[in-house]
Amino acid sequence: MSRRSSPGTCLRLCLVKFAVVSAIAVCGPALYWRFNKTTLKLTDSKSSCPPCNCDCPPPLSLLNVAPGLSNLSVTDCGSNDPDLKQEMEKQFVDILMEELKLQEAVADEHSRHVNITFGEAKRVASQYQKEAEKCISATETCEEARERAEALLIRERKVTTSWEQRARQMGWEGE
């Protein structure tokens, strides 16, 4: 494995650790309580508790809490509100037409929002595509430069070797 792939490997390892810890954090409490209930049921079935004796008072009814509420009637509810009266006098068809107009307005707004979001997504995707093309071009340029440098290095090694052989032939002992 080369040194270049170690940051990517480290990142993948960190992501895997994060995923495992997240899964434990999400599922852990539920599994704990399920396991705890199971163990409690097993211990309850083995040793039974005596029944509890409690003298709790019966729950209070609404009539006991507020006895005046039983005399109220709701037949005249909203009779003093002119807007409510006008709304209640409308015909069923008018109400349905209003509802349809509202739904159409909501649908138009939703459609406009979707179109704006879609246009933004296309713009961002195009921008990412341009950035990717720049990266690919830069990578190709770097790769060509690396290949040229490698060829020059091989040529320099050959020249160095030939000079070293000549020097040894002339009596140089080397280092």
> pLDDT tens digits for 91-135?
777 888 889 999 999 999 999 999 999 999 999 999 999 999 999
State mean pLDDT over 50-55.
Answer: 68
Say if residue 155's pLDDT is above 60. Answer: yes
User: In this predicted structure, what is the pLDDT of residue 46?
Assistant: 54
Are the C-beta atoms of 174 and 168 separated by less than 8 Å? yes
| C-alpha to C-alpha distance for 121 and 125, rounded to whole angstroms | 6
pLDDT of residue 86: 74
**What pTM does this model have?**
0.35
Task: Supply angle C-alpha 104, 107, 109, rounded to 5.
Answer: 110
Q: What digits encode the pLDDT tens for the residues 110-119? A: 999 999 999 9
Q: Is residue 95 within 8 Å of residue 88, measured between CB atoms? A: no
- Separation between Cα atoms, residue 45 and residue 42, nearest integer Å: 5
Evaluate if residue 67 carries a pLDDT over 50.
yes
Domain definitions of the chain by residue range: 12-41, 92-167
